Structures are given as structure tokens and as C-alpha cells.
């Protein structure tokens, strides 16, 4: 009962907060999208090296709603499967609505090299729907990631999405897909307290800087606070709750001009 | 007691040394070269640098029997470090173990790790005997290198139309073939042939490769210390009379402020201008060294109405006009140098006579008013170096035949171990125009400059090395692009933090302010404007097993007509394992640099004997993958794939005949190296 009341109170509180980002970064389960050095979760199109730290078969769903609208939305599905040689993962992400949407599907594999470093690669297919021709246009994209534990408390992460600058070629136009580079670190200040910093850069955009804090109150409950800067400073608040093999996350971001983004996730680990 | 100390050091530091023993020697040499050149825009001769150190690694110096001249190839060691090392060896009656190097004052772990591939301890014969025929075959080392670069995107110069042929007459690839033979460093021979992209291989004026070079170098032949036939380089004194292959830069650190007399060295690089062709010899008589050479070669000259306007040094012979200019000017040079050296001092005299087939008569421009317009010139100079206590004083005074002088004087001072101070004052007359000089300067030539450089390096704080430098300079006469005397100042701060073995953080900050020319002219006169630039670079390096990771970030701000800021970030991953014959280097880079004046230089790993520091501006990404695979013990294969993708909407890259369509530029480079077996 107590956790349920807390979740509802959290929802009411966070719904008061609202900002938006136009920086082309995939939504993640990490606060303020500081996912590049976050090894606690791996969701669709996050740093593929994080997949190396998955220990059990996991299935995750993440949904994002912008500006308190029901459409357009973003939904993603992630499946991770660890093996003794490499960890494998599949990702699927749908963004948009019926007459305008694109689908990213990806296959990833990653390996942790004796806790000295972890490398991951993801092969993605972007399928964009064109209403005029009622057809899909496809592009192949690569993503690579790296995680290096500098010390027992400090992890540095790097990832590159669409590093070869793939473009979407339609019948009349060519649309350059974003190439995003991210560098960040995760500092385990205490066992229950993690601090993360991240910088992202897309070729045609300015830098995005983000920081976030994870506080594990106990094994079940997680509190997240963060902020990122891209044109505006955007505060983010989130909570997480673990029950048995299920892990729930809820995050809200507030943009001073545009509005609220709400993100909700659920993950099942065997 | 000495053995007890040595044992303690062996136990304590063996981890650091064992890691170093796994390093590829070529990587070490590249790192050394990088520390010389990454902060400067001048290009040094990496090819020769790499080759000489590779040969040295296969014929390491026996420290217990070494003399000062044996260290002339180890350019990363300063005079002070060499003196301290020789003193230590002398007073300790020889090193027992290489770990003792840590007891030598002025040598830190970086210096020692760099030295290790090039030194050894062991019995050495009193004098090396000249190899006989059997040894020349049995104990020799020779290798053949073949390199091929090609570029998928076609440049404008290669495109032919129905109305006219393409401007570039040759094929769109770069190629060289190089052979080197070495027997105990006493007999060295080789040749190099090279073709630039766009140059013909077989045509009217070219039969085969565009550039061919060869040499035979013999050491310790009778009374001769060294004799070189063919192509060679010369380096004497502080570089005001002759220095070929690049000069010292402030980025290399205070300890390398003093230039070492390297004498004659064979030339095997692919550069088509900066070398001599003829015969050179050196003789050593106790403390006296005598050197002499004579050179005759053809160079490229730019003629206009039968008047020689300038010499062309880029070596390109792609178009019909470039082919017309190929080797159309004779160049005769002769010179000599005498050096007296004892334990604490060096005194030298160098003179050089240079003559071209025609007088060089450029168009009279204000900035070139004082350039010599004759066909010949004489340069001579006195250089000195002496050490007294903790001071090292050095300098050179040079003069041309018209009495115009160039002078460089400096000192280094080590008050206590771990602190080094240095200063250098330079005066180069505006009419001192020596094409063979290369010395400390802010301009592109050793001419028209006055400046004072000072620096301080501190290594007393554990795990931290701090370097502070300042340079105040002046160009008393006009320069190309600046029609008035100008001033400038530059400051640098460098911090290296090594928290643990295998981890390091480098932080560099540089600020420069100088007089510049405004784009607006009033009554056809340039107006002066002050421009400044500041750059900040941070690099994080981590060694993890067989992998090395490096994250780099640089920010550069310029202010001439308003402040502009450019940034670049790049991530490197290198993988190398001795037991597996594959080495991989990967880089992902993103840059966002508004203007050319904000350009950022980022050093890149390249093929063997190649070095790359491209400049980046605009918006985009750069990726490369470099592979080295040892097909057999004697055969290595290198492959580099690189691509720059611009994301600032540009539709073409480059200018003139080098323009390519689109926003992508791709390079593919291959190199085969065959270590020829001897029987």
C-alpha cells in the first residue's frame, strides 16, 4: 500500500514539471538520458556496451509521451540474453503515429572483458514511413559503445550512433540521420548513491550536457534527479520501484517553453 | 649496498617495466614524435625519424660503454639527461641492471620507457670491426616496403571533358617503393621511389617513378667516422646554418631546447626538396670532429618570362605546367663543419656555400624587399655549448655573405632535481635568408624575427608534471599577409597527471595574441588589428590489458572580428597483443569548428613510416580504422581506412583542382613490409 501511495504522489508531483528537448537522443531509462556510463540497465539504442553487464534474460518496455499528448509517442521493446561468450540483445523502437512514423530495429552484442573494459556493437535498421507513397524507406546504421572502469568507483563510457553518417534516401529527398557521440562517466559515490555526467554531440547540433543522481533508498525503491542543458536547462525527476523480478521506472522532464515529457518503463528479469 | 638498492627497485618497479616490454617499438617511436609535433603546425620528417630509431632499436646502445655520440639518435633525451647518465655510469662504475636508470637524476619513467628499446647492458668489443662479406650477408637486416594509397572520390583535376583532357596527367593513387639494408649500423644502403597522386608513371618527362632517391652510408671506415654517398641530410649547431629534418619546438619541452649536433645522416624519406645529393664525410680526431660535404642536384623552379621567380618545394608534377618546372634549376652546395668537444663544452664552426643555376628574382613586394636576389650565397656560423654546474648555456651566431646575422642564445638551469628553467633569446635579421636553416622561431623561416622564450618545468609534486612557457616575439619588418611590423605573445601551461600505472591525464592550455591585418584597407593600406586565440585540450588515457583507450577534447576560441569557438572530441581505441599478430587502432571523432582560423589539429596513427596531423574545420565527423597484421614473421600488412563526413551542408570539399563533389572524403592506404631473410 505504502509504495502505491508513494508512486501516485510522485506522479502528481512530477506532472507539474514540464520541459522538452529537440536534441536527437534516444529516450532511456537513465535520468536525464545519462545512459552512456549507466550499467544498471540496458534499453533500446542505449550504449551497446551496457549490454555486457546484463546477467539474466530480460525483457523491457519503455514508452514516452511528449507534451501530454497521446500522439506522437515513442515505444520501445528490448530483449537481452546473456551467454558465456557474448551478451546479445534485440531492440525495437516505434516513434510517431499512423501517417508519420519510423521504426528502428536493432541487433546488439557485447562482451565484458574481465572487468577491464566492455565493448558493444549494434546493427540497426531504420525504416521510415512515407505517407505520400505509402511505403517504407530503409537505412542501415551502426552503433558502437565502450565502457572502461577506471577504478572501482568510476566508470567511463563512450558511444557513437550512426558513426558512418548514413542518410535516408527517399525518392526526391535525402534526409541526413543524426550521428550522435556521447561521452560520460558514472561515479559510485556510495553504494546507494550514483552520480553521472554526460556530454552528447550531434554533427549539426550544439552540445548537450546532462547530469543525474540515482539514490537507492533500499533494494526496492529508487529516486532519481537530474538536469540537462540544451538551449535551456531542463530539470528531470524520476522514481523507480522493484517488485520481485519486475522493475518499474517513471520519469518526467520539464521544458520551460514546450512542456512535459513523461517516460514510463517496465522490465522483467528472469 | 648498491646491490641492495638495485634489488629493492627491481621488486618495486618491475610491474611498470614488464608492461613496457609488451609495447610495440613503432608505437613508442610514434609517441615520441607526437610529443614533438602535435602542438605545432610545422611538419617534421617523420619518415627519417622512425627509420633511425628502428635501426637503433635493432642495434641498441651498450650503456656501460657508451659515449656522448652514441646518444645522438635518441633525440628525446636532453643534453642534461645524457650528461647525468654518463656521470652516473662513470661514478657507479657501470650499471648492473637497466632498472638502475631510475636512480639517474633527471630521468623519469616516461624518459626511461622511451629509452628501453634502444639501450642494453652487455659486453662490447672495444671497437667494432668493419663487417666482412660473410657478416654483410649473415648479420644484415634489410626490408622492402610497398605502399599504395587511393581515393574513391575523384578530384576535379582528374575529370576530362570532350573538349579537353584532364588537368592531372597521371593516375589517382599514391605509391612508393622503398628498400633499406643495414649491417650493424656500419653499412647502410637503400633506395626510395615515389609517385604522388596525379603524377604519371610513364610519360614524356617521367620514366617510371617521379621521384627516386638512394644512398650508401659507411661508418667507421679506416680514418673516416662516416661517409655517405647519394642522398643525405646535415644538421650542425643550433640550426642557423644547416638543419634538415625539422627543428625543436616549444611543444617538445625545455629539456629539448638545446639542439644536438647530428652531423650527416642518410636520407630515405619521400620529401623531394629538403636534402643534399652528393658525398659527405666525417672524421674524428680525439676531441675534434671534421665534417665536409658537396652536393649537386636539380630542383624545381617557377619561371616567368625566363626569369626565375621562386623555387617550388612541394614536389608535385601532376599538370603540364608543373612538369615544365620539374628539375629545371641546378643547385650546387658545399660546406664544412669543425667541432671541438670535451666533457663539458662544445665549440663548432660551420660554413656553407650555396648556388643556384639562376638568380632568384621574385616580384618586388614590400615584405620581400630584403630577400637576397642573387644566385649564390655563403652562410657561416659559430655555435657553442657549455655546462657549468647546474647551468647549460648554448647558442649560435650565423652570418651570410652580406653581413646579415642571425643569433640564438639560451640557457637551461636545474636548481634542484625536478625543476628545470630555461630561456632562449633569438634575433634573426630580416635579410638573413638561408633556405637550409631551421631553428626555434614563430615564423615559417629563420628570418625577420626577434623573440624571447622562457619556461619552467616542475616535477617535484608526486605524479604531476607541470610545464609553463611564455614567448614574446616581434617581426620587425613586413610579413606575407601583414604589411607592417608586428608583435605577438604566446603562453602555454601543460599538466600531466599520472594517478596510476597505465592511466594519465594531460591538460594543455595555450593563449596567443598577435598583431594581424584587418580585411578592410584604408587608402590601399592595411589596418592593424589585434587577434587572439586560446585553446584548451584535455586527454585521458587508460591502459586496460591489451587495449589502450584515449578520450580527447579540444576547445579553441579565436577573437579577431568577434569571438568564435570551435570544439572537437575524439575517442581512440587500440588493441595489441604480442601473441596475436593483429594490431587495431580505431577512432571516432566529431568536430564543430566555425571558421578556418579556429582549425584544430588532431594527430592520427598512420601506416609505418607515415605520420598524419590533419587540420579540421567545419562541422562533421571523422572515422578511421588502422590494422596491422603479420602474415608471417617476415611479412607485415597494414591497412588504413579513413573517412571524413561533413555535416555543414557543403556540396564540395577542397579547392582548385583538388575539389571533390559531395560531403565525404575517403582514404584507403595499404602497406606491405617484407623483412628480407638473410642466409
Report whether B268 contacts B459 (CB < 8 A).
no
**CA distance linking residue B78 with residue B420, whole number of Å:** 12
Residues in chain B: 679
pLDDT of residue B35: 66
If asked whether residues B665 and B614 sit together in one domain, one would say yes
Q: Model confidence at B200, in pLDDT bands (50, 70, 90)?
A: confident
Closest-CA distance, A158 to chain B, in angstroms, reads: 8
Most trustworthy range by pLDDT among B179-193, B363-377, B511-525: B179-193
Angstrom CA distances, A266 to A37, A62, A64, A246, stand at: 20, 7, 12, 7
* Mutation to test the A interface, candidates B566, B584, B645, B646, most A Cβ within 10 Å: B645
B643 with A164: Cβ contact below 8 A:
yes
Look at residue B42 and tell me if it is in a domain: yes
**CA distance linking residue B160 with residue A213, whole number of Å:** 61
Region B164-176 average pLDDT: 89
pLDDT of residue B137: 77
Before B511, cis peptide (omega within 30)? no
More confident position, B314 or B35: B314
Out of B503, B551, B619, name the one closest to residue A203 (CB): B619
A203 with B588: Cβ contact below 8 A:
no
pLDDT at residue B572 is higher than 60: yes
pLDDT of residue B294: 97
Q: With contacts defined as CB-CB under 8 Å, which chain A residues touch B569? A: 181, 183, 199, 201
If asked whether residues B554 and B668 sit together in one domain, one would say yes
Look at residue B532 and tell me if it is in a domain: no
Find, among A111, A115, A100, A174, the residue nearest to A139 by Cα. Answer: A174
Region B34-55 average pLDDT: 64
Q: With contacts defined as CB-CB under 8 Å, which chain A residues touch B648? A: 204
pLDDT at residue A16 is higher than 60: no
Q: Is B584 helix (H, G, I), strand (E, B) or coil?
A: strand
Closest-CA distance, A180 to chain B, in angstroms, reads: 9
If asked whether residues B565 and B589 sit together in one domain, one would say yes
Out of B544, B545, B621, name the one closest to residue A163 (CB): B621
If asked whether residues B97 and B165 sit together in one domain, one would say no
Find, among B648, B650, B630, B651, the residue nearest to B639 by Cα. Answer: B630
Which residues, 6+ apart, have CB-to-CB distance to B155 below 8 Å?
Answer: B168, B172, B198, B654, B657, B658, B659, B660
Q: Is B359 helix (H, G, I), strand (E, B) or coil?
A: coil
Domains of chain A: 2-269 (2.40.160.60)
If asked whether residues B33 and B153 sit together in one domain, one would say no
State the residue for C-alpha cell 589585434.
B530
Q: Model confidence at B6, in pLDDT bands (50, 70, 90)?
A: very low
* Mutation to test the B interface, candidates A145, A158, A198, A208, most B Cβ within 10 Å: A158
A146 with B573: Cβ contact below 8 A:
yes
* Nearest C-alpha in A relative to B545: A116
pLDDT of residue A6: 39
Q: Model confidence at B24, in pLDDT bands (50, 70, 90)?
A: low
Q: With contacts defined as CB-CB under 8 Å, which chain A residues touch B542? A: 148, 150, 156
Residue B323 grid coordinates:
612538369
Look at residue B427 and tell me if it is in a domain: no
Pairing relationship of beta strands B61-62 and B119-120 according to DSSP bridges: parallel
Which of A72-76, B278-282, B428-432 comes out lowest in average pLDDT? A72-76
If asked whether residues B30 and B95 sit together in one domain, one would say yes
Q: Model confidence at B11, in pLDDT bands (50, 70, 90)?
A: very low
Q: With contacts defined as CB-CB under 8 Å, which chain A residues touch B619? A: 203-204
Residues in chain A: 270
pLDDT of residue B65: 78
Domain span at residue B637 reads 135-171+545-679
If asked whether residues B76 and B161 sit together in one domain, one would say no
Which of A118-122, A180-184, B201-205 comes out lowest in average pLDDT? B201-205
Look at residue B118 and tell me if it is in a domain: yes
Burial of B436 (0-12, 13-18, 19+ CB in 10 A): buried
* Mutation to test the B interface, candidates A159, A179, A207, most B Cβ within 10 Å: A179
Look at residue B281 and tell me if it is in a domain: no
* Nearest C-alpha in B relative to A202: B590
pTM of structure: 0.83
Question: What ipTM, to 2 d.p.?
Answer: 0.76
If asked whether residues B550 and B669 sit together in one domain, one would say yes
pLDDT at residue B2 is higher than 70: no
* Nearest C-alpha in A relative to B547: A117
Find, among A60, A55, A65, A67, the residue nearest to A45 by Cα. Answer: A60
Q: Model confidence at A17, in pLDDT bands (50, 70, 90)?
A: very low
If asked whether residues B102 and B153 sit together in one domain, one would say no
Which H/E stretch holds residue A222?
strand A221-230
Indicate the residue among B91, B126, B161 that finishes a domain: B126
More confident position, B173 or B365: B173
Which H/E stretch holds residue B529?
strand B525-544
If asked whether residues B117 and B154 sit together in one domain, one would say no
Closest-CA distance, A218 to chain B, in angstroms, reads: 33
Report whether A94 contacts A103 (CB < 8 A).
yes
pLDDT in tens, B338-391: 999 887 889 999 999 999 998 888 888 888 888 777 788 999 999 999 888 888
pLDDT at residue A202 is higher than 80: yes
Report whether A163 contacts A169 (CB < 8 A).
no
**CA distance linking residue B184 with residue B165, whole number of Å:** 51
Out of A148, A160, A199, name the one closest to residue B549 (CB): A148
> How many domains does chain B divide into?
2
Rounded percentage of chain B residues whose pLDDT exceeds 70: 89
pLDDT in tens, A43-88: 888 999 999 999 999 999 998 887 666 666 788 999 999 998 999 9
**CA distance linking residue B573 with residue B448, whole number of Å:** 44
Rg (CA), chain B: 25
* Mutation to test the A interface, candidates B499, B503, B542, most A Cβ within 10 Å: B542
Q: Model confidence at A15, in pLDDT bands (50, 70, 90)?
A: very low
Q: With contacts defined as CB-CB under 8 Å, which chain B residues touch A146? A: 549, 571, 573
If asked whether residues B559 and B612 sit together in one domain, one would say yes
Which residues, 6+ apart, have CB-to-CB distance to B105 below 8 Å?
Answer: B84, B88, B417
Q: Model confidence at B487, in pLDDT bands (50, 70, 90)?
A: very high
> Interface of chain B against chain A, CB under 8 Å?
503, 540, 542, 544-545, 547, 549, 551, 553, 567, 569, 571, 573, 588, 590, 592, 619-621, 623, 643, 645, 647-648, 664
3 state SS for B40-76? CCCCCCHHHHHHHHHHHHHCCEEHHHCCHHHHCCCCC
φ, ψ of residue B15 in degrees (nearest 5): -65, -50
A181 with B569: Cβ contact below 8 A:
yes
Rounded percentage of chain B residues whose pLDDT exceeds 90: 47
Look at residue B300 and tell me if it is in a domain: no
Report whether B151 contacts B175 (CB < 8 A).
no
Average pLDDT score, chain B: 85
pLDDT at residue A4 is higher than 50: no
pLDDT in tens, B61-92: 888 878 776 777 777 777 778 878 887 887 77
pLDDT of residue A20: 36
SS3 content of chain A, % helix, strand, coil (to 5): 10, 60, 35
Q: With contacts defined as CB-CB under 8 Å, which chain B residues touch A165? A: 621, 645, 647, 664
Region B404-413 average pLDDT: 94
Indicate the residue among B96, B126, B156 that finishes a domain: B126
pLDDT at residue B196 is higher than 70: yes
pLDDT at residue B306 is higher than 90: no
If asked whether residues B19 and B93 sit together in one domain, one would say yes
A117 with B549: Cβ contact below 8 A:
yes
Report whether B219 contacts B186 (CB < 8 A).
yes
Angstrom CA distances, B630 to A259, B140, B178, B369, stand at: 58, 21, 19, 56
pLDDT of residue B463: 85
Q: With contacts defined as CB-CB under 8 Å, which chain A residues touch B566? A: none
Amino acid at each position: 500500500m505504502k509504495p502505491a501511495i508513494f508512486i501516485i504522489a510522485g506522479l502528481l508531483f512530477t506532472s507539474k514539471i514540464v520541459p522538452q528537448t529537440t536534441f536527437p537522443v534516444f529516450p532511456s531509462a537513465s535520468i536525464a538520458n545519462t545512459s552512456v556510463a549507466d550499467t544498471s540497465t540496458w534499453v533500446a539504442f542505449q550504449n551497446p556496451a551496457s549490454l555486457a553487464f546484463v546477467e539474466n534474460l530480460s525483457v523491457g518496455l519503455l514508452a514516452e509521451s511528449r507534451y501530454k499528448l497521446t500522439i506522437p509517442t515513442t515505444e520501445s521493446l528490448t530483449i537481452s540474453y546473456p551467454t558465456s561468450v557474448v551478451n546479445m540483445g534485440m531492440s525495437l523502437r516505434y516513434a510517431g503515429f499512423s501517417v508519420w512514423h519510423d521504426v528502428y530495429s536493432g541487433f546488439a552484442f557485447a562482451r565484458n572483458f574481465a572487468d577491464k573494459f566492455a565493448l558493444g556493437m549494434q546493427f540497426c535498421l531504420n525504416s521510415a514511413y512515407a505517407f505520400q507513397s505509402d511505403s517504407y524507406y530503409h537505412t542501415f546504421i551502426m552503433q558502437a559503445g565502450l565502457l572502461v572502469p577506471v577504478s572501482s568507483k568510476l566508470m567511463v563510457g563512450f558511444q557513437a550512433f550512426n558513426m558512418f553518417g548514413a542518410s535516408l534516401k527517399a525518392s526526391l529527398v535525402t534526409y541526413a540521420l543524426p550521428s550522435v557521440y556521447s561521452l560520460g562517466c558514472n561515479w559510485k559515490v556510495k553504494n546507494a548513491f550514483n552520480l553521472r555526467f554526460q556530454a552528447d554531440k550531434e554533427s549539426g547540433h550544439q552540445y548537450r550536457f546532462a547530469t543525474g543522481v540515482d539514490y537507492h533508498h533500499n533494494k526496492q525503491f529508487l529516486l532519481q534527479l537530474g538536469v540537462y542543458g540544451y538551449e535551456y536547462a531542463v530539470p528531470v525527476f524520476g522514481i523507480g520501484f522493484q517488485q520481485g523480478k519486475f522493475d518499474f521506472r517513471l520519469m518526467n522532464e520539464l521544458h520551460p517553453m514546450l512542456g512535459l515529457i513523461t517516460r514510463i518503463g517496465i522490465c522483467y528479469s528472469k | 649496498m648498491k646491490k641492495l638498492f638495485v634489488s629493492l627497485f627491481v621488486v618495486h618497479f618491475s610491474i611498470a617495466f614488464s608492461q613496457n616490454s609488451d609495447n610495440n617499438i613503432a608505437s613508442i617511436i610514434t609517441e615520441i614524435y607526437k610529443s614533438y609535433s602535435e602542438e605545432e603546425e610545422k611538419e617534421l620528417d617523420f619518415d627519417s625519424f622512425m627509420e633511425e630509431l628502428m635501426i637503433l632499436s635493432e642495434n641498441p646502445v651498450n650503456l656501460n660503454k657508451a659515449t656522448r655520440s652514441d646518444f645522438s639518435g635518441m633525440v628525446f633525451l636532453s643534453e642534461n639527461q645524457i650528461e647525468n647518465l654518463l656521470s652516473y655510469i662513470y661514478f657507479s662504475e657501470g650499471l648492473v641492471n637497466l632498472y638502475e636508470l631510475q636512480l639517474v637524476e633527471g630521468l623519469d619513467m616516461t624518459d626511461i620507457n622511451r629509452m628501453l628499446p634502444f639501450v642494453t647492458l652487455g659486453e662490447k668489443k672495444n671497437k667494432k670491426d668493419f663487417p666482412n662479406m660473410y657478416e654483410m650477408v649473415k648479420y644484415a637486416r634489410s626490408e622492402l616496403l610497398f605502399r599504395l594509397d587511393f581515393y574513391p572520390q575523384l578530384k576535379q583535376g582528374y575529370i576530362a571533358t570532350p573538349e579537353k583532357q584532364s588537368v592531372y596527367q597521371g593516375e589517382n593513387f599514391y605509391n612508393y617503393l622503398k628498400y633499406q639494408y643495414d649491417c650493424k649500423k656500419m653499412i647502410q644502403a637503400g633506395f626510395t621511389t615515389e609517385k604522388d597522386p596525379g603524377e604519371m608513371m610513364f610519360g614524356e618527362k617521367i620514366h617510371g617513378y617521379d621521384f627516386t632517391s638512394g644512398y650508401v652510408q659507411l661508418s667507421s671506415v679506416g680514418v673516416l667516422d662516416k661517409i655517405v654517398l647519394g642522398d643525405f641530410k646535415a644538421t650542425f649547431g643550433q640550426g642557423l646554418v644547416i638543419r634538415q629534418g625539422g627543428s625543436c619546438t616549444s611543444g617538445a619541452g625545455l629539456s629539448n631546447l638545446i639542439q644536438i649536433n647530428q652531423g650527416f645522416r642518410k636520407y630515405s624519406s619521400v620529401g623531394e626538396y629538403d636534402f643534399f645529393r652528393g658525398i659527405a664525410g666525417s672524421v674524428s680526431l680525439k676531441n675534434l670532429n671534421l665534417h665536409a660535404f658537396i652536393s649537386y642536384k636539380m630542383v624545381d623552379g617557377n619561371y616567368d618570362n625566363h626569369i626565375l621567380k621562386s623555387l617550388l618545394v612541394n614536389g608535385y608534377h601532376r599538370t603540364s605546367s608543373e612538369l615544365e618546372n620539374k628539375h629545371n634549376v641546378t643547385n650546387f652546395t658545399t660546406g664544412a663543419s669543425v667541432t671541438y668537444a670535451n666533457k663539458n663544452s662544445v665549440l663548432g664552426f660551420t660554413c656553407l656555400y650555396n648556388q643556384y643555376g639562376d638568380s632568384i628574382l621574385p616580384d618586388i613586394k614590400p615584405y620581400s624587399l630584403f630577400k637576397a636576389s642573387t644566385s649564390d650565397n655563403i652562410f657561416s656560423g659559430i655555435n657553442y655549448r657549455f655546462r657549468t654546474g647546474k647551468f647549460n648555456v648554448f647558442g649560435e651566431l650565423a652570418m651570410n655573405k652580406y653581413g646579415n646575422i642571425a643569433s640564438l642564445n639560451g640557457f637551461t638551469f636545474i636548481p634542484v632535481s625536478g625543476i628545470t628553467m630555461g630561456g632562449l633569446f633569438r634575433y634573426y635579421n630580416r635579410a638573413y635568408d638561408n633556405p637550409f636553416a631551421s631553428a626555434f622561431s614563430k615564423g615559417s623561416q629563420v628570418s625577420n624575427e626577434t623573440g624571447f622564450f622562457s619556461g619552467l618545468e616542475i616535477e617535484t609534486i608526486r605524479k604531476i608534471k607541470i610545464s609553463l612557457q611564455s614567448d614574446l616575439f616581434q617581426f620587425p619588418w613586413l610579413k606575407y599577409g601583414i604589411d607592417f611590423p608586428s608583435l605577438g605573445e604566446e603562453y602555454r601551461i601543460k599538466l600531466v597527471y599520472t594517478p596510476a600505472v597505465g592511466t594519465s591525464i594531460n591538460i594543455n592550455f595555450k593563449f596567443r595574441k598577435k598583431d594581424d591585418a584587418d580585411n578592410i584597407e584604408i587608402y590601399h593600406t592595411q589596418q592593424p588589428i589585434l587577434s587572439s586565440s586560446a585553446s584548451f585540450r584535455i586527454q585521458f588515457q587508460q591502459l586496460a590489458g591489451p587495449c589502450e583507450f584515449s578520450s580527447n577534447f579540444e576547445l579553441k576560441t579565436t577573437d579577431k572580428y568577434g569571438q568564435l569557438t570551435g570544439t572537437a572530441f575524439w575517442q581512440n581505441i587500440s588493441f595489441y597483443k604480442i601473441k596475436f599478430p593483429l594490431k587495431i587502432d580505431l577512432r571516432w571523432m566529431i568536430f564543430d569548428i566555425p571558421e578556418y582560423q579556429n582549425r584544430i589539429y588532431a594527430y592520427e596513427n598512420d601506416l609505418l613510416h607515415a605520420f598524419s596531423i590533419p587540420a579540421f574545420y567545419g562541422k562533421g565527423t571523422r572515422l578511421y580504422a588502422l590494422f596491422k597484421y603479420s602474415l608471417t614473421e617476415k611479412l607485415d600488412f597494414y591497412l588504413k581506412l579513413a573517412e571524413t563526413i561533413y555535416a555543414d551542408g557543403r556540396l564540395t570539399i577542397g579547392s582548385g583542382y583538388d575539389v571533390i563533389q559531395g560531403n565525404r572524403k575517403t582514404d584507403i592506404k595499404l602497406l606491405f613490409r617484407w623483412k628480407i631473410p638473410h642466409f
